Every structure is written in C-alpha cells, then in structure tokens.
C-alpha cells in the first residue's frame, strides 16, 4: 500500500549547498485543535475571514464541478478521457490566491480545477467537456485541451510533462519582456520522471527563469504508486543538482499551500530563478473516469477523505473563526446552483457547426 | 624521404579552403605535431599539424590564397633521416599541384557544387549581389531581428560559436546574449521552451544543429506547436520557426543523413518550407519569421556554401506556398525541392541535349503545397517526375504522384515516376552512399522512362 502524505504544513525537504535552504515552518503557532480530527497546523498569517470564505468557495466550486462532470461522464454526455481533480483542490486554489494578475498558469490534462481557479467560467469549461460550440475550444479540444489567453491559462496538455518546458518558455517570455510575471507550471508525480523535466530544470536554473514547478504528488501515476516509480529522496529534491530550492508542502491544507506559494513567488519575483514545490496530495477518484482503481484499497481512499479532506478542514477553520453554519450552507447552495446551471448550459449548447472542422488549423496573416 | 602535406578536409562537405597563415618557412625544422599552418573555410578554421619530423622544403600556397581544393599539396617536407636536404626556393606564385599524397580516395561529392543558373523568376529583379545560402539565412534573421524585438534565436552553438555551420555569424555581436541564446544540448527542452515563448507573445527562431536531432523534440513540434491552435479553438497561435540543416550530408551515415520533409509535411498545423536558392532561403525565412504559425524550415548543409545572385534589398519576402518554375519546358514536368532542384536543373540541361524539354518546378514549400502550379505544368507536358532525397515510402513523391494522378489523370501520357533516396538507412561507405542517393542520372533515367525512351525500372 502506498504511503499517505504525512507531511505537516510546509516542511523543509532540501538542504542544497548553495540553494537557499527553505526554512522549516513554524509548527507551534496558530495550531488549532479540531475535535475528532488529527491536529493540523494552520500556518502563520491566517487570512481574514472573507479571504478564508473565498478560498472555501473556490475549492468547493471545483469539488462540485468535478462531481457534476463525473455524473455527466457516467451519463455519456462527456466522452474520451476525463481526469478529475477531486481531493487536490487546495493546491491550485492556494497557489492562485498568492499569484498576481498576469502570472501564467499551465498544467497537464487534470486541468478543470486550474481553469476554474484562473477565473475561467464554469459554463465554458463544462461546455467544452460536453463537446459543444460554447466550450473554450469550440468543442475541439475537450477535457485535456482548454486555454484562455485572457485568463493567462495556457492549457491543458495531454502529453505527460510536455507542459513543463512550455511553462519554462512562458517564464522566459516574462523575463524577456520584463513583465514581472511568474509562470506557475504544474506537473504530477508521474511527469516528474520524464527526461524533459530535467532538461527544463537545467535551463530554468541556468537562465534564472521565474517559474514555480508545482509538483502535485497525488501518490499515483495512473496505477503506479510513487514508491514504485520514483527512486531516491523527496520529489522536492529533484532540482537539487541544479541548485533549485524545493519544499514539501501539505497539499491538503490550503493555508499551507498559500504560505509555501507566497515564499516561492517572492523568490521568483526577486529574479532568483525557479522554485520547486512538492504538494503532497491525494486524488479520490481514479486516474481517469475509466480507471477501476484496483491498485489501492477502499480503506486508503476513505481514510484520506475522512481525515485529510482540504474542504472539510477549511470548513472547520471557518467554524472555529465563528462563521455561522448557515452562512456556509448558503455558500454550498450557491455553488451547487452554479454548477447545475453550468451543466444545463453545457447540455443546451449546440454541437459545433460542421464547418468548424476546417477552421483554426492554420492562422491567416502570413506573407502573401 | 619526401613528405607531401595536403589540404585537409574540415568537414564532410568541405571541397576547398583558404590558406590563412603559415607558421613555418622553407628551411624550418619541424617536429611531428607542430602547427605549420592555419586553414579556413567559410564555416570553420583549423590548424594543420606536421605529421612527421623533418625540414620544410617547399610551400605551394601563398598566405591568403583561397579556393585550394581538398587533397592538393600545400607543402613538402624532407624526413629527418635525409642527411642532405635539398631546399628549394619558396614558390612566389604557387600553383596547386595534383594530389600525390597517399590520402584516402576523396569521397565523391554528393552533389555538384557548381553554381547553377537560375531561370527567370518573378522575385529576382533589380540590383543583384552574389550571396551564399548561409549568408542569406543570416541576413534574413538579422533583418527580422532588427525589425521586431520579439524575434530571438535559440539553439546549440548559435551564439559564441557563431553557429555550428556558421549560419548565425555575427548575430551575437549585433543583438547580444538576450536575443541570441546558446542552449545546452537539450533538444526536447529548448523546443518546448520555444513553444512556450511563442505562446507568451515572442517570436522564437529555434535552430536545430541538424533536423536529425529534432527527432528528440518532435513531440513538442507536433503535439504542442502544430496542434494547439486547433485544440484551443483558434485562441493560441504558435508563431515559431524551427530551422536547421535537413537531408543527406556527406559520409555521416544513417543517423545524421536523412530527409524529414515528408514527416513534417504530413501534419496539419505546420508549414513546411525547403528552399534551394539563396534568394528563396532569405525571402522564405523572413516570411517564416513573420508567419503566425509554426514553420519547419528545412535547410541543406551542402547548399550553405553555394552562391546565388539575389536582389540587394532588405525587403525580400517570398510567400510560403508558392512554387517557382525555375526552368520552363514542354515535354516533362520535374518537381524538386532543396538540393534536388540543382540536380534537376542539371538533368534538364543534359536532357535538352537529347532533345527533351523539361520543365523544372522548385516546390519551395511542401505544406502548403502549390499543387495548382504542378497540375498546370503537367497539363502542358503530360509527363511527371518528382525528385527528393528522402525515402520513397509515403514520401513527398508518393503524395505528389497521388495528387497528379487524381487531379490530372486524363492529361497523363505515362504513369508518374518518383525519384528518391532508396529504401535503406544511409550507408557510410562512399560508393554505397552514392548508390543510396538520387543522382542526376537517376533523374535523366526517370524522364526517359516516362517518355517511353527507356524500359521502366
């Protein structure tokens, strides 16, 4: 059985020679005991209540959206591959909450959560999942291939790890054009073993590119547990040879993600080069909708859901902060309505016009 | 014992060089390994070392002399054991002597390097200057970099080394390390990084030292660069140029000698360009850099040093997707691209002596393909021969033959004929390599076949 993420908050995982050693996070400050749950370390600088509510709402939106996508997939309304983000919501929500307008985001095919967190509409994402004309890619990209230039979301890439050098290229552009932006380049514990990741680490470190490599270690690359796929030490250390600082982070705790993210952002924005954050997380669902998940036990999944769920944890924090249960329920209801509306929209949107088959292959405007 | 020192070859495709500097004079005693001269080609410089101990007895080339053929004797030495050394006076006006050294038989040059004459072309007018393909490519990049600050060049050895084939000579000096970027040896990485930079509003020109190495990066080229516009419903253009030498070089064997034209031409979302002349190299590269799509720009190492007359202007733009009739004719249509255009023109010259008038079309662009120009020609000549260096199976010729057959069947007086490299990995041995590549005679034979003057092979 694969080991569950045990890391508490953001803990140091690297002690590289020249790389600035990430500080070990305070573990005694702001610790809140939540009855019936294992102790969690709520990091220092706890956001104000409104911010906490915002984080809660963003995570819940992704959760409910993905649950709905799973339902629509079961009904045959979504085809092909569909990789759900349920369980990992704290990562992208936490990172987006410490990013700035203009920072770019790129990820793999488990991308619905990232798009919603970037501010792309649930309607547009869901309509793409159902292959309709109102989808972000006019129905031509599907679950794994969606983009929004306006929201600085650069996909949505179906080839494991191909997004990593592309993400470094976005960082290269930020540096070249002196935008001050950072590239948030997400990859999984499967992608981390691809050769192009290390080609990218080398160039990013060599040229001090402003890129944060966010490794979403959900413990399984499809059916292969990380312990069966990855030799050596923590994935956060994979950049050590290049002098890239790395940090293991409790990816089930949105506040821990925020804190680590803020540190990495500051490092990148100061022009010091890339940073690696290994988010220890867990996906509740299979690799894709067609995954029977025989490689892990139901008990393991249930234990994670019951003890480590990022949304439940934040709800406890909100209650501890004095938020009324009714207020939380109102958010739940609002989100549910939004997702239902997005589903209705996606199912009502027409299929793309057959003429769209031939558009967007080549862009006009070259020398004629 | 007299020892003859000959002009060495610096690269598989070098045929001649310049004697840049002598470090010895007649009468000097040298030891094996001493540097005696420095030689230079348009892309490299190298020191020549003595291979034996002895005394220099003659220098056959003057400092600064250019165009010395590989294998020509440049100096003589007397071995040390020879007690009485007959020292001859240095040659004031040295004339190259035939190679007497027991050097290996020089490889047959895979292609003639004589500068072919270009037939009338719509793009060639005004004041003309003689320019090599290498300089034309460099000028194209320099002009576009001056025009648009978002254009940058990235690749292995493009900066401080001035380009592995000296194509980027002088660019680092003019544009600095921010825009002329030496990469580690990391094809997939920098191809993907280039794609990301193109997504991020820049205009990358990514050089592969050769397209053989681009196979390490082909996922990024096809899956990331070519498909994203479509997959994004038109949002995400990828204006990027992947360029570098393609096709057969000389004596470098299977892994370094291959034409990738049909590989890339197969894929929607790409433009694929393969120029022959210096004017096309310049005008098409400028167009490729301005194009909003990913462009595969296939150069040819053997062509780099060839000179052509090109218009003396920094505004030479040639649209991608338009073929060029480089020789008009009435009896047969021959299509070619890149280095094969030169061979097709040579074949056409020889065919003219036999009374056959061949029309030669330089495709210039393989995707989009200017099929209209080909069909129009075939409707006039009624015979069709395609030429390429690549493999025959599913090659460019296969596609052209299919299209010509489908669209101009009623005009054909004979089945189309494909001239291509043969269906084996490229061999190293000189004789086998020559057999593996299409030669001028191969084209002539193909034309004779479709003219029913020769048995079909």
Least confident residue range of A305-319, B50-64, B440-454: B50-64
B292 plus B335 within the same structural domain? no
- Per-residue pLDDT of B363-420, as tens digits, reads 999 999 999 999 999 999 999 999 999 999 999 999 999 999 999 999 999 999 999 9
Instruction: Domains for chain A: give ranges and CATH numbers.
Output: 10-16+48-347 (3.40.50.970)
pLDDT exceeds 50 at position B17: yes
How much of chain A, in percent, has pLDDT values that exceed 70?
88
B300 plus B341 within the same structural domain? no
* C-beta of residue A314 within 8 angstroms of C-beta of residue A97: no
Q: What is the mean pLDDT of chain B?
A: 90
B352 plus B428 within the same structural domain? yes
C-alpha angle with apex B212: B262 to B339, nearest 5 degrees? 60
Q: Does B235 touch chain A (CB under 8 A)?
A: yes
Cβ-in-10-Å burial (0-12, 13-18, 19+) of A179 comes to middle
Asked, for residue B117, whether it belongs to a domain, the answer is no
Which positions 323-382 of B are in contact with A (Cβ < 8 Å)? 368
C-alpha to C-alpha distance for A289 and A222, rounded to whole angstroms: 11
How many angstroms away from the CA of B268 is the closest CA of chain A?
Answer: 7
Residues in chain B: 457
B236 plus B283 within the same structural domain? yes
Which positions 25-54 of B are in contact with A (Cβ < 8 Å)? none
B283 plus B344 within the same structural domain? no
Candidates B189, B234, B271; nearest CB to A200: B189
C-alpha to C-alpha distance for B362 and B274, rounded to whole angstroms: 9
Indicate which CATH number applies to the domain containing B63.
2.40.50.100
How far is CA A318 from each of CA A38, A188, A293, A341, rounded to the nearest angstrom?
A: 17, 30, 33, 27
C-alpha to C-alpha distance for B342 and B307, rounded to whole angstroms: 12
How many domains does chain B contain in total?
3
Residue B187 designated active-site: yes
Q: What's the mean pLDDT in B320-347?
A: 98
B contacts of A186 (beta carbons < 8 Å):
none
Asked, for residue B94, whether it belongs to a domain, the answer is no
Q: What is the DSSP letter of A77?
A: S
* C-beta of residue A145 within 8 angstroms of C-beta of residue A362: no
- Crossing angle of helices B440-450 and B339-353, in 10° steps, is 60
Predicted pLDDT at B98 = 41
Predicted pLDDT at B7 = 87
* Local confidence band at A2 (pLDDT 50, 70, 90 cut-offs): very low
What is the 3-state secondary structure of A166-186?
A: HHHHHHHHHHHHCCCCCEEEE
Q: Which of B311, B345, B376 is the last residue of a domain?
A: B311
Identify from B185, B189, B203 which residue to disrupt to test chain A contact, counting A C-beta atoms within 10 A and taking the largest count.
Answer: B189
Q: Which of B62, B79, B96 is the last residue of a domain?
A: B79
* HSE toward the beta carbon, residue B342, CA cutoff 13 A: 20
C-alpha to C-alpha distance for B455 and B279, rounded to whole angstroms: 38
* C-beta of residue B21 within 8 angstroms of C-beta of residue B50: no
Which positions 280-299 of B are in contact with A (Cβ < 8 Å)? 286-287, 290-293
Candidates A146, A169, A363; nearest CB to B193: A169
Candidates B189, B223, B293; nearest CB to A196: B189
Asked, for residue B87, whether it belongs to a domain, the answer is no
Q: What's the mean pLDDT in B48-65?
A: 89
B133 plus B235 within the same structural domain? yes
Asked, for residue B108, whether it belongs to a domain, the answer is no
Is B292 in Cβ contact with A166 (below 8 Å)? Answer: no
Candidates A137, A203, A366; nearest CB to B189: A203
C-alpha to C-alpha distance for B212 and B223, rounded to whole angstroms: 18
- Per-residue pLDDT of B156-167, as tens digits, reads 999 999 999 999
Residue B256 designated active-site: yes
Q: Token pair of B236, please?
A: 């995400």
pLDDT exceeds 50 at position A228: yes
pLDDT exceeds 50 at position A194: yes
B contacts of A173 (beta carbons < 8 Å):
196-197, 199-202
Collapsing DSSP to helix, strand or coil, B307 comes out as strand
How many angstroms away from the CA of A242 is the closest CA of chain B?
Answer: 13
How many angstroms away from the CA of A203 is the closest CA of chain B?
Answer: 8
**How big is chain A by its Cα radius of gyration, in Å?**
20
B112: phi then psi, degrees, rounded to nearest 5: -70, 145
* C-beta of residue B290 within 8 angstroms of C-beta of residue B284: no
Indicate which CATH number applies to the domain containing B268.
3.40.50.970
Q: Token pair of B102, please?
A: 């027991």
Indicate which CATH number applies to the domain containing B390.
3.40.50.920
Number of Cβ pairs closer than 8 Å across A and B? 170
Collapsing DSSP to helix, strand or coil, A25 comes out as coil
How many angstroms away from the CA of A198 is the closest CA of chain B?
Answer: 8
How many angstroms away from the CA of B241 is the closest CA of chain A?
Answer: 13
pTM: 0.86
Predicted pLDDT at B81 = 61
User: Given the DSSP bridges, would you call strands A211-217 and A275-280 parallel, antiparallel or unpaired?
Assistant: parallel
Candidates A145, A169, A367; nearest CB to B200: A169
Q: Token pair of A247, please?
A: 């940090």
Which positions 95-134 of B are in contact with A (Cβ < 8 Å)? none
Is B183 in Cβ contact with A162 (below 8 Å)? Answer: no
Predicted pLDDT at B364 = 98
Catalytic residue selected from B135, B207, B256, B433: B256
How many angstroms away from the CA of A321 is the closest CA of chain B?
Answer: 42
Q: What's the mean pLDDT in B14-39?
A: 88
How much of chain A, in percent, has pLDDT values that exceed 90?
82
How many angstroms away from the CA of A223 is the closest CA of chain B?
Answer: 24
Collapsing DSSP to helix, strand or coil, B293 comes out as coil
User: Given the DSSP bridges, would you call strands A224-225 and A220-221 parallel, antiparallel or unpaired?
Assistant: antiparallel
Predicted pLDDT at B293 = 98
Candidates B200, B219, B287; nearest CB to A366: B287
A contacts of B195 (beta carbons < 8 Å):
165-166, 169
Q: Cβ contacts of residue B315 below 8 Å, gap of 6+?
A: none
Cβ-in-10-Å burial (0-12, 13-18, 19+) of B410 comes to exposed
Helix (H), strand (E) at residue B381 = helix B371-381
Q: What ranges in A31-121 are assigned the alpha helix state H?
A: 49-74, 89-97, 112-117
Task: For the beta carbon of residue A263, count every other beta carbon within 10 angstroms.
Answer: 20
A contacts of B178 (beta carbons < 8 Å):
176
Q: Which residue of B has its CA nearest to A367?
A: B319
DSSP B74-120: EEEEEETT-SS--PPPPPSS--PBPP-S-PPPPPPPSS--SPPPPPP
B278 plus B399 within the same structural domain? no
C-alpha to C-alpha distance for A297 and A207, rounded to whole angstroms: 44
Predicted pLDDT at B449 = 97
User: Given the DSSP bridges, would you call strands B54-59 and B35-40 parallel, antiparallel or unpaired?
Assistant: unpaired
Q: Does B193 touch chain A (CB under 8 A)?
A: yes
Q: What's the mean pLDDT in B50-55?
A: 86
Predicted pLDDT at B107 = 41
B61 plus B208 within the same structural domain? no
Asked, for residue B100, whether it belongs to a domain, the answer is no
Q: What's the mean pLDDT in B223-240?
A: 97
Q: Which residue of A has its CA nearest to B227?
A: A361
Is A148 in Cβ contact with B200 (below 8 Å)? Answer: no
Helix (H), strand (E) at residue B165 = none
Q: What's the mean pLDDT in A20-47?
A: 40
* C-beta of residue B41 within 8 angstroms of C-beta of residue B304: no
Q: Which residue of A has its CA nearest to B194?
A: A169
B305 plus B337 within the same structural domain? no
Asked, for residue B185, whether it belongs to a domain, the answer is yes
B182 plus B259 within the same structural domain? yes
Task: For the beta carbon of residue A72, count every other beta carbon within 10 angstroms.
Answer: 18
C-alpha to C-alpha distance for A22 and B364, rounded to whole angstroms: 55
Is A202 in Cβ contact with B200 (below 8 Å)? Answer: no
Asked, for residue B104, whether it belongs to a domain, the answer is no
Q: What's the mean pLDDT in A146-150?
A: 96
A88: phi then psi, degrees, rounded to nearest 5: -105, 10
Is B320 in Cβ contact with A367 (below 8 Å)? Answer: yes
Q: Does B220 touch chain A (CB under 8 A)?
A: yes
Task: For the beta carbon of residue A81, count every other beta carbon within 10 angstroms.
Answer: 17
The domain of B40 spans 2-79
* C-beta of residue B54 within 8 angstroms of C-beta of residue B144: no
* C-beta of residue A85 within 8 angstroms of C-beta of residue A61: no
B330 plus B303 within the same structural domain? no
B338 plus B284 within the same structural domain? no
Identify from B223, B231, B288 which residue to disrupt to test chain A contact, counting A C-beta atoms within 10 A and taking the largest count.
Answer: B231
Least confident residue range of A5-9, A159-163, B220-224, B273-277: A5-9
* Local confidence band at B207 (pLDDT 50, 70, 90 cut-offs): very high
- Per-residue pLDDT of B351-370, as tens digits, reads 999 999 999 999 999 999 99
Predicted pLDDT at B41 = 80
Q: Which of B79, B109, B141 is the last residue of a domain?
A: B79
Q: Does B84 touch chain A (CB under 8 A)?
A: no
Q: Cβ contacts of residue B274 below 8 Å, gap of 6+?
A: B246, B261, B298, B300, B337, B338, B363, B364, B365, B366
The whole-angstrom distance between residue A101's C-alpha and the CA centroid of its chain comes to 17
Is B195 in Cβ contact with A166 (below 8 Å)? Answer: yes
Predicted pLDDT at B9 = 80
Least confident residue range of A54-58, A152-156, B74-78: B74-78
Is A155 in Cβ contact with B188 (below 8 Å)? Answer: no
How many angstroms away from the CA of B195 is the closest CA of chain A?
Answer: 6
Asked, for residue B221, whether it belongs to a domain, the answer is yes
Q: Does B197 touch chain A (CB under 8 A)?
A: yes
Catalytic residue selected from B187, B346, B399, B449: B187
C-alpha to C-alpha distance for A11 and A9, rounded to whole angstroms: 6
Q: What ranges in chain A are assigned the alpha helix state H?
A: 49-74, 89-97, 112-117, 122-129, 163-177, 195-206, 226-229, 254-269, 298-308, 310-320, 325-348
């Amino acid at each position: 059985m694969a080991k569950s993420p045990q890391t508490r908050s953001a803990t140091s995982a690297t002690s590289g020679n020249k790389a600035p050693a990430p500080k070990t996070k305070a573990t005694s400050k702001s610790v809140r005991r939540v009855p019936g749950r294992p102790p969690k370390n709520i990091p220092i600088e706890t956001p104000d209540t409104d911010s906490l509510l915002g984080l809660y709402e963003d995570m819940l939106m992704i959760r409910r959206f993905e649950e709905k996508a799973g339902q629509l997939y079961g009904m045959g309304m979504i085809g092909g591959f569909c990789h759900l983000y349920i369980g990992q919501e704290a990562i992208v929500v936490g990172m987006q909450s410490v990013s700035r307008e203009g920072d770019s985001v790129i990820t793999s095919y488990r991308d619905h959560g990232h798009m919603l967190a970037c501010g792309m509409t649930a309607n547009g994402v869901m309509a793409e999942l159902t292959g309709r004309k109102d989808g972000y890619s006019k129905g031509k990209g599907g679950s794994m291939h969606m983009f929004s230039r306006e929201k600085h979301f650069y996909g949505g890439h179906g080839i494991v790890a191909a997004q990593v050098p592309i993400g470094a290229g976005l960082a290269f552009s930020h540096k070249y054009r002196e935008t001050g932006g950072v590239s948030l380049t997400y990859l999984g514990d499967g992608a981390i073993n691809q050769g192009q990741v290390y080609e990218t680490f080398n160039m990013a470190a060599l040229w001090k590119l402003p890129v944060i490599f966010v490794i979403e270690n959900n413990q399984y690359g499809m059916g292969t547990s990380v312990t069966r796929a990855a030799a050596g030490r923590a994935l956060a250390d994979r950049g050590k040879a290049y002098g890239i600082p790395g940090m293991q982070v409790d990816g089930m705790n949105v506040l821990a993600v925020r804190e680590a993210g803020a540190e990495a952002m500051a490092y990148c924005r100061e022009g010091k080069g890339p940073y690696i954050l290994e988010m220890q997380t867990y996906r509740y669902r299979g690799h894709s909708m067609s995954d029977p998940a025989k490689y892990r036990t139901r008990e393991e999944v249930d234990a994670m859901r019951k003890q480590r769920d990022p949304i439940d944890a934040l709800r406890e924090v909100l209650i501890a902060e004095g938020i009324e249960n009714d207020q939380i329920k109102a958010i739940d209801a609002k989100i549910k309505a939004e997702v239902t509306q997005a589903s209705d929209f996606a199912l009502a949107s027409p299929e793309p016009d057959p003429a769209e088959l031939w558009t967007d292959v080549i862009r006009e405007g070259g020398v004629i | 014992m007299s020892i003859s020192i000959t002009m060495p070859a610096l690269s598989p495709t070098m045929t001649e060089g310049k004697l840049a500097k002598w470090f010895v004079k007649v009468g000097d005693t040298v030891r094996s390994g001493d540097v005696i001269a420095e030689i230079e080609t348009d892309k490299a410089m190298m020191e020549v070392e003595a291979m034996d101990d002895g005394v220099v007895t003659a220098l056959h080339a003057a400092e600064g002399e250019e165009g010395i053929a590989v294998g020509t004797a440049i100096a003589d030495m007397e071995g040390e054991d020879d007690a009485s050394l007959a020292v001859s006076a240095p040659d004031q006006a040295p004339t190259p002597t035939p190679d007497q050294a027991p050097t290996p038989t020089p490889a047959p040059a895979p292609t003639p390097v004589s500068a072919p004459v270009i037939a009338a072309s719509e793009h060639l007018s005004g004041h003309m200057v003689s320019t090599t393909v290498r300089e034309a490519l460099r000028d194209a990049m320099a002009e576009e970099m001056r025009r648009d600050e978002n254009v940058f060049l990235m690749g292995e050895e493009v900066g401080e080394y001035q380009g592995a084939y000296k194509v980027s000579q002088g660019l680092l000096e003019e544009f600095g390390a921010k825009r002329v970027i030496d990469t580690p040896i990391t094809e997939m990485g920098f191809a993907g990084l280039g794609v990301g930079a193109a997504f991020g509003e820049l205009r990358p020109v990514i050089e592969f030292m050769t397209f053989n190495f681009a196979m390490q990066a082909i996922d990024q080229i096809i899956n990331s660069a070519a498909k994203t516009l479509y997959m994004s419903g038109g949002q995400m253009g990828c204006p990027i140029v992947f360029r570098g030498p393609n096709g057969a070089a000389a004596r470098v064997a299977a892994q370094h000698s291959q034409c990738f034209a049909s590989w890339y031409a197969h894929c929607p979302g790409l433009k694929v360009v393969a120029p022959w002349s210096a004017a096309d190299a310049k005008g098409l590269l400028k167009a490729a850099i301005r194009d909003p799509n990913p462009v595969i720009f296939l150069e040819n190492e053997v062509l780099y040093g060839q000179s052509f007359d090109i218009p003396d202007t920094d505004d030479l733009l040639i649209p991608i997707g338009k073929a060029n009739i480089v020789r008009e004719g009435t009896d047969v249509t021959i299509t070619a691209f890149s280095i094969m255009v030169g061979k097709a023109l040579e074949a056409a010259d020889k065919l003219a002596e036999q009374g056959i008038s061949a029309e030669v079309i330089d495709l210039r662009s393989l995707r989009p393909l200017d099929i209209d120009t080909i069909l129009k020609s075939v409707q006039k000549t009624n015979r069709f021969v395609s030429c390429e260096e690549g493999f025959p199976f599913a090659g460019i010729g296969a596609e052209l033959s299919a299209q010509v057959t489908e669209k101009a069947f009623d005009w054909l007086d004979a089945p189309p004929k494909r001239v291509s490299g043969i269906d084996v990995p490229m061999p190293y041995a000189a004789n086998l390599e020559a057999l593996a590549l299409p030669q001028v005679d191969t084209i002539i034979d193909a034309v004779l076949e479709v003219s029913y003057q020769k048995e079909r092979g």
